[in-house]
Amino acid sequence: MIICDKISPLRSEIRSMRTARTMGALAARVGLVPTMGFLHEGHASLIQKARAENEIVVVSIFINPLQFGPNEDLNRYPRSPEQDQALCEQLGVDLIFTPNIEEMYGTEKVFTRVHVELLGNYLCGASRPGHFDGVCMVVSKLFHIVEPDATYFGEKDVQQLRIVEQMVKDLSMPIEIVSCATVREEDGLAKSSRNAYLSPTQRKIAPEIFRTLQTIAARIHSGERNLMQLQSDAIHHLNHLPECKVDYLLFVDLQTLTPVDQLDANHSIRLAVAVYVGATRLIDNLLIT
Global confidence as pTM: 0.96
* Mean of all residue pLDDT scores within the chain: 96
Q: Compute and round to an integer the Cα radius of gyration of the chain.
A: 20
Residue 26: pLDDT band (50, 70, 90) is confident
How far apart are alpha carbons 94 and 88 in whole angstroms?
8
43 is catalytic: yes
Catalytic residue among 40, 43, 237, 267: 43
State the Cα torsion 229-232-233-235 to the nearest 10°. Answer: 160
Burial label for 34, CB within 10 Å (0-12, 13-18, 19+), is buried
Q: What is the pLDDT of residues 69-92, one digit of tens each?
A: 887 878 889 999 999 999 999 999
- Residue 249 backbone class (left: φ over 0; alpha: ψ -120 to 50; beta: rest): beta
What the chain holds in terms of domains, given with CATH numbers, is 2-180 (3.40.50.620), 193-283 (3.30.1300.10)
